[in-house]
Structure 1
Amino acid sequence: MRFDPPLISATLVQRYKRFLFDAVLPDGTPFTGSCPNTGSMRGLTTPGSKIWVSEHDSPTRKYRHMFEMIEVGDETIGINTGLPNRLAEEAIRAGLIPSLANYPVIQREQKYGRNSRIDFLLSGKGLPNAYVEVKNVHFSREPKLAEFPDTVTKRGAKHLEELGDMAEAGHRAVMIYLIQRHDCESFRICTDLDPLYALAFERAKARGVEAYAVRCRVSPMAIEPAGLVPILG
């Protein structure tokens, strides 16, 4: 996906109240914007960092600017949790996840499980339905290694349990970890920050849930799925 209009650069002052951030434009103009990521954003909120923001002039928006990316060292990292579903769909349609490439029908936000909605329901003649959940990933503590989650996520564990139910009911159940950075060559579940999620992941795999990790090329011009990386045990 390409950004149109292009993103603009700024310097981060602070991210706070989960939904907000303060920054300064290159000409020195300070502003407050919305942060489309309510998670911990561990390691991605350092004051003084160069960030990239989108600009919106809709009269219904309270804040004109939205936080999209941050630069950490030489890497540009996407933080917008509203984008992974779109990027995962691009990856599926482009055949980057070979086991899902033959599904002709992709439906978004379908009801399933325990009063939940699945990110995608894939279907096709002669194919088992595939229930696909997508998680955003941008956390990295070791070179070339992406990790999820970066904090406790009871909701994430619930999703794994519901996917397991689908697998045991005879459907395909798939978890896609969408990595909004390109410097990571492998992926791992973060057992120390959320051991219960790690247990839920192992239980889900044992019940037949498939898992894939897709990294992206990220730049202020575009974010593009780049292919699978291995999931480490």
Structure 2
Amino acid sequence: MKFTPPLQPATLIQRYKRFLTDVTLPNGEQRTIHCANTGAMTGCAEPGNQVWYSTSSNLKRKYPNSWEISVDPQDHHICVNTIRANALVVEAIENGVIDELSGYNELKTEVKYGTENSRIDVMLTASDRPNCYIEVKSVTLLDQTDTDSGQGYFPDAVTTRGQKHLRELIQVVGSGQRAILLFAVLHTGIEKVSAAYHIDADYSQLLTQAKALGVEVLCYKADISANAMNLTSKIEFIDV
């Protein structure tokens, strides 16, 4: 995924009202830009961090600029625009990066499924195997007590929506189909991923149950720069 037009740099002043961020441009101008991330963004939104933002061609947008990347004091690059995760996964599947998802001949996104009125992020189909349902989650939370450990966590806040998705994936497996929880790791400092039991014990317990029942968990990490971003390498998921 290349950023076109190129991203522009700024310095973070503050994030507020969940969707808004104030930044200072290199020329000293202050500007309000959009933030698509509704999570806690722990460690990703410290005042003074360098940020990179995109510019939309939609002239009707009140805030045409969107916060894409944050750079922390350790020079880790973090994609804070969670909307990008699904597109990165689709691109990686189509380019053959994710070996576990090869061999399917049709890919659909945002397909309605389940008993809790959900939409699966990606569905793969082929004539010779069960359908494959893929729920994508963006991982940006690095262990703040030891940033050198490379330990990443999901979620970064209690997620009843994420719990619902796990229940739906369990039902998919029960129906004889394939279900995958795919963690798109969008923080260059993260080298391994675990469920954040200390943040959402219910989610962690449900994930353990889902794995035991046949839901597969995959973690793929992105290379991130101000020019481009791509999922490139598989990393380990560690049970808590």
> Normalised by the size of structure 1, how large is the TM-score?
0.97
Q: How does 1:105-184 map to 2 (within 5 A)?
A: 105-113=106-114, 114-141=116-143, 142=146, 143-184=149-190
1:177-202 deviation per Cα after TM superposition (whole angstroms, max 9, x unaligned): 00112332211111111100001101
Aligned-residue offset at 1:57? 4.2
Relative to structure 2, which stretch is displaced further, 92-101 or 9-18? 92-101
Moved more, 88-97 or 39-48: 88-97
User: Is the Cα–Cα contact under 8 Å of residues 96 and 228 in structure 1 kept in the other structure?
Assistant: no
Q: Which amino acid aligns with 2:87?
A: R
Q: Alignment partner of 2:132: what SS?
A: strand
1:1-233 pair list within 5 angstroms = 1-72=1-72, 73-113=74-114, 114-141=116-143, 142=146, 143-233=149-239
3-state SS of the aligned residue for 2:97?
Answer: coil
Equivalent position amino acid for 1:116 in 2 = S
What is the alpha-carbon distance in structure 2 between the residues aligned to residue 116 and residue 168 of structure 1?
17
- In 2, the alpha carbon distance for the partners of 1:75 and 1:11 equals 15
Q: Could you say what secondary structure the match of 1:133 adopts?
A: strand
Offset of residue 76 of structure 1: 1.1
* Amino acid corresponding to residue 42 of structure 1 in structure 2: T
Deviation of the 1:93 alpha carbon: 2.0
Quote the offset at 1:127 in angstroms: 1.2
Aligned residue-pair number: 233
CA contact (8 A) 1:94 1:101 kept: no
What's the RMSD between the two structures over aligned residues? 1.0
Unaligned 5+ segments in structure 2 are: none
Please, which moves more after superposition, 5-14 or 70-79? Answer: 70-79
The Cα of 1:99 is off from its aligned counterpart by 2.0
Decide whether the 8 Å contact of 2:142 with 2:189 is kept in 1. Answer: no
Query: Which amino acid in the other structure matches residue 22 of structure 2?
Result: D
Any idea what SS the aligned residue of 1:202 has? helix
Q: Which amino acid aligns with 1:78?
A: C
Go from structure 1 to structure 2 and tell me whether the alpha carbon gap of 1:94 and 1:31 turns closer, same or farther (over 3 Å shift). Answer: same
What do residues 147-184 of structure 1 show as CA deviations (whole Å, max 9, x unaligned)?
A: 10111001001100100000011000011000112332
Identity of aligned residues (%): 39
Which whole-Å deviations, capped at 9, do the CAs of 1:98-131 have from their partners, x for residues lacking one? Answer: 2211111110111100211101111011011001
SS of structure 1 residue aligned to 2:237: coil
Question: For the residues of structure 2 that align with 1:122 and 1:52, how far apart are their CA atoms?
Answer: 33
d(CA) in 1 for partners of 2:193, 2:228:
22
Work out the CA distance in 1 between the residues paired with 2:231 and 2:60: 31
**Runs of 4 or more above 3 Å deviation:** none
In 1, the alpha carbon distance for the partners of 2:171 and 2:51 equals 40
With the length of structure 2 as denominator, give the TM-score of the two structures. Answer: 0.94
